[in-house]
Amino acid sequence: MTFKKTCLFSFTLLAFFALKINAQTVSKFHLQQTSNTNQPWARWWWMGSAVDKPNLKKSLIDFHKAGIGGVEITPIYGVKGEENNFIDYLSPKWLDMLDYTIHVSDSLHMQVDMVLGTGWPYGGSQVTLPHAATKLIVNKFEVKKGQKIDQNITLPKEEKIPAELLYVVASGSDGSFIDLTKQIKKSEISWDKSQSDNKSYNPDIKENRLSFKASKTSYTVYAVFSGKTGQQVKRSAPGGQGYTLDHYSEEALNEYVVPFNNAFKGREGKVRAIFNDSFEVYGADFTPNFFEEFQKRRGYDLKQHLTELISTEDTEKGNRIKSDYRETISDLLLNQFDKPWTSWANSKKFKTKLQAHGSPGNLIDLYASADIPECETFGSMPYDIPGFRREKSDIREGDADPVMLKFSSSAAHISGKPLISSESFTWLREHFKTALSQCKPEVEDLFLNGVNHAFLHGSTYSPTRAAWPGWEFYASVNFNSNNTIWEDASGLFSYIANCQSLLQQGKPDNEILLYWPIYDQWNKFAKGEMFMQFKIHSLPEWLYGTSFYDTTKILIGKGYSVDFISDSFVKQATVKDGNVVLPGGTFKSLVVPACKNMPLETLKKLVELKKNGAKIIFEGLPESVPGFNEFEKQNTELQKVLAENKTLVQPTSDILQTLNSETILPETLVNTGLKFIRRTLDGEKLYYVVNHTSKTIDGMIPLQIGNKEVVIFNPLTKEYGNAIIEKSANQTLVKLHIEPGQSFFLITENEATQQKWNYWETASAAIPLNGKWQLNFDKGGPELPPAASLTTLESWTKLSPQAEAFSGCATYTLQFDAPKVTAENWALNLGDVRESAKVWLNGTYIGTAWSVPFQLNIGKLKPGKNELKIQVTNLAANRIRDMELKGIEWKIFYEINMVDKDYKKFDATKWSPMLSGLLGPVSITPLKNEIKK
């Protein structure tokens, strides 16, 4: 069968299935036909942009056949020895490669995203020094009363890049203030031409001379410079090198997009979305017109309070002024960069995809400024699932806290953005040591917290001329055909696509809004630092231990579905039928956790909403308005508002009891240990439930919706059918048997159908499959080990030196007699699989076991002899270890080259061989169906 015919057959089959389940279940939810948005996408690194059309086409076909729906192009540093193949970013040849990628993707029903630059963060050769990432430099000196100075105002010695002197001001010990800026005399200074090749030397620098006498009192003189961080684009590709961009300036953004305005002429709408990575703009705490913007937004002159701004002492005034500074930085990032960036992209008929985490601003508003908010996970999370391996030597602890993940999904939910994406699997394990089974619970946690479009991190373009293992990116699970896990990766991608097909339908169904009191963070003393970033790697600094975090965990733990709301979205809220209405939907209540600082405008709006019938629940009352300008006057009014509305704002002592009294009820299914997320479509509910516990959950599971039939859908196998249920007016109980590591969708409907869910029960004890296993090595390298016969299943690495070094596929074959046991179906349990397994019974393909539990229902056995074939694929780690032990160099990449999970030199010679193959024990279990069709 040709490739085109194979694709057409698969598409038609899926379409038929989608129609079939929709017709038979009469459900509002149904599996959509396979589309590129349902499928996972991959970040696609172009090393040195050394791409060519034949290899682009091959790579895209590989992606398509495996079930990847789109790519996100990120050009990065190159491969040593490939210099002649490097293509400069945005050059005519590079744009030709982009056009070809789009053309081939279109033919495969795929789509293309791209980064607006190379590496990260935004920056490049078009960024001139005035528009580069900027920092505040303050040089101060003391002038005692009666002393006169006449000196040049200079930068601190450690500053290597010329900076622009903006202001010179003096603060007197008596509280007086003098702006000395106009007294500065500027003059040219001579320079040594021998220094002209020094890039940090600026021949145009001017002398700034100040003559000043402290007549009335002693003064601290502050020289305020607009300096440059000097940060260059990280991991940049050829043609993309240069300064990082000033992210607080629309003028800088407009300069930055000039090359793209030219490049995208005639290409409008050809790319789906423009991507902006996490905020990794180091030390950029300023922009040249910051003081003017500050006065416009905060209402006072910051220059008069430089003492408090740069102070490292913990004082109320200093903290208030720092809060205003932090809020202004947030405003500029949102309104001078992120929103104009989305407007610019939309003008080109592109969407935007933004990772806001790490930003020095209100994450909710920043995420919501993009068409597609995107979160990120980094490292490995723990799970209690039996058989789920998480060897400490191979992992770095993960940052996928559910509360952190909800910032991106909440922003999408309250602003009405249908897609929430994720950078998934970053540094999940050490290189070449990530199994498909280890990806599944990680992506499930993303889905459970609102993500509905996973991006793999990632895949490196690697041409056929590259020797194995091909080109590699330093921080990824490399999802491409060079990696052994690619053999069965389509199973993972199919599972993701089946989940996303349902999770992208309807609307989120979260009943509670939780106010994020960001001003408590902005107002706190942060070790004297004025600049504050909200990073996923520093949650203890700004998230853990807060009332906001604690309340979120309590509500989620009790079964409530929560989204977060910012002050700006509170401002947009209205009330209808007692619900809080936002651009993205309606919510039953809004909870305000205990907080110290709240804008007066926010408090007034919350009171107004409650007066209009909204369920606004306070866990505590604010003590103060944030910021410095007229805060005493505002505090008086704040206390007046609280006093006049004492009954309305009375804090609750028990949030759970208060919610119950308002008839806002939790999903008590969480008491079983199940995790869930819920969506709604035309009055019907969809629950995605996952068992990440160590125990099988078996029983009647309560859903908080009354008098409904329920369809169970298994996204791993695509099995579905009507469940056994017990109805009542306010609740529906669903019979469920869900083993550790399993997940199901529960879909409500009004009428039952003929298709019933198969409740398989064990008919008798499991029967071990013993005997002589024939083991043949099928494909892989560095060479195929000799075949072997086994009576005991153990790691194939113990068979021979060749098998110890081998990474690839090997087939186990066993002849066995059918047990003399009556069974309607048989379950095959493969035991410990390293790492995935395709199964055939009597020549018929049964399926692929790639996740815990490694079980498949294999149907009926034939009388007498049966033949079981199991093709197992291991990880690539043992082959890499063998290469390094033999001194074969493959780490040939520029810049960071290759590092291990701890960002130290990569050295696989220290590894022990990883267990590989079918370790067992293998058994079959007779099954009977509790419910007859």
- Taking only the tens place, the pLDDT of each residue in 94-117 is 999 999 999 999 999 999 999 999
* Residues in CB range of 490: below 8 A, 6 or more apart: 65, 66, 67
| The predicted structure's pLDDT at residue 32 | 61
Minimal CA–CA distance to 224: which of 189, 180, 255?
A: 180
pLDDT band at 201 (very low <50, low <70, confident <90, very high): very low
Per-residue pLDDT tens over the stretch 717-766: 999 999 999 999 999 999 999 999 999 999 999 998 889 999 999 999 99
Mean per-residue pLDDT for 610-637?
Answer: 98
| The predicted structure's pLDDT at residue 5 | 31
Asked if 879 and 805 count as a contact pair (C-beta separation under 8 A), the reply is: yes
Residue 421 pLDDT exceeds 60 = yes
| The predicted structure's pLDDT at residue 21 | 43
Residue 891 pLDDT exceeds 60 = yes
| The predicted structure's pLDDT at residue 558 | 98
Minimal CA–CA distance to 596: which of 640, 527, 547, 648?
A: 547
Largest CA distance in the chain: 110
One-letter amino acid at 292 equals E
| The predicted structure's pLDDT at residue 196 | 36
| The predicted structure's pLDDT at residue 27 | 55
CA distances from 898 to 61, 283, 486, 902 (A): 27, 26, 21, 11
- In this structure, how many other beta carbons lie within 10 angstroms of the beta carbon of residue 727? 12
pLDDT band at 528 (very low <50, low <70, confident <90, very high): confident
Find how far residue 624's CA is from the centre of its chain.
35
> CA angle, 517 as apex, 515 and 520 as ends, to 5°?
170
Report the residue count for the chain. Answer: 933
| The predicted structure's pLDDT at residue 203 | 43
Name the β-bridge partners of 807.
781
Asked if 517 and 595 count as a contact pair (C-beta separation under 8 A), the reply is: yes
SS (H, E, C) 231-252: CECECCCCCCCCEEECCCCHHH
SS (H, E, C) 400-436: CCHHHHHHHHHHHHHHCCCCCEEEEEECCCCCCCCCH
Secondary structure (DSSP) of 766-805:
-EE--SPEEEEEEEEES-PPPPEEESS---GGGT-HHHHH
Minimal CA–CA distance to 249: which of 382, 153, 132?
A: 132
pLDDT band at 188 (very low <50, low <70, confident <90, very high): low
- How many Å apart are CA 378 and CA 41, to the nearest integer? 18
144-158, 204-218, 243-257, 455-469: which has the minimum mean pLDDT? 204-218
Tokens of 850: 């790639």
| The predicted structure's pLDDT at residue 476 | 77
Residue 16 pLDDT exceeds 90 = no
Residue 20 pLDDT exceeds 60 = no
Per-residue pLDDT tens over the stretch 661-670: 999 999 999 9
Mean per-residue pLDDT for 774-790?
Answer: 98
Residue entry with tokens 């991608």: 493
pLDDT band at 434 (very low <50, low <70, confident <90, very high): very high
Computed over every residue of the chain, the mean pLDDT equals 94
Residue 910 pLDDT exceeds 50 = yes
Residue 249 pLDDT exceeds 70 = yes
DSSP, collapsed to helix, strand or coil, labels residue 182 as: helix
Minimal CA–CA distance to 280: which of 223, 235, 225, 218?
A: 235
pTM for the structure as a whole: 0.95
Per-residue pLDDT tens over the stretch 690-729: 999 999 999 999 999 999 999 999 999 999 999 999 999 9
CA distances from 229 to 126, 163, 310 (A): 17, 10, 18
pLDDT band at 33 (very low <50, low <70, confident <90, very high): low
> Residue ranges of the alpha helices (H) in 565-702?
567-572, 600-611, 631-644, 655-661
pLDDT band at 25 (very low <50, low <70, confident <90, very high): very low
- How many Å apart are CA 67 and CA 494, to the nearest integer? 7
Q: Terminal CA-to-CA distance of the chain, rounded, Å?
A: 36
Strand order in the sheet with 788-790: 788-790, 773-781, 807-817, 865-873, 836-841, 844-849
Residue 457 pLDDT exceeds 90 = yes
- How many Å apart are CA 457 and CA 442, to the nearest integer? 13
Per-residue pLDDT tens over the stretch 791-829: 999 999 999 999 999 999 999 999 999 999 999 999 999
pLDDT band at 207 (very low <50, low <70, confident <90, very high): confident
Mean per-residue pLDDT for 285-310?
Answer: 98
Residue 6 pLDDT exceeds 60 = no
- Higher pLDDT residue, 684 or 192? 684
- Higher pLDDT residue, 523 or 32? 523
Minimal CA–CA distance to 333: which of 163, 531, 524?
A: 531
The C-alpha torsion from 881 through 882 and 884 to 888, rounded to 10°, is -140
* Percent of the residues in the chain that have a pLDDT greater than 90, as a whole number: 92
Minimal CA–CA distance to 277: which of 132, 471, 75?
A: 75
Tokens of 420: 């929430």
Tokens of 172: 């007197």
Residue 13 pLDDT exceeds 70 = no
Per-residue pLDDT tens over the stretch 343-392: 999 999 999 999 999 999 999 999 999 999 999 999 999 999 999 999 99
| The predicted structure's pLDDT at residue 23 | 36
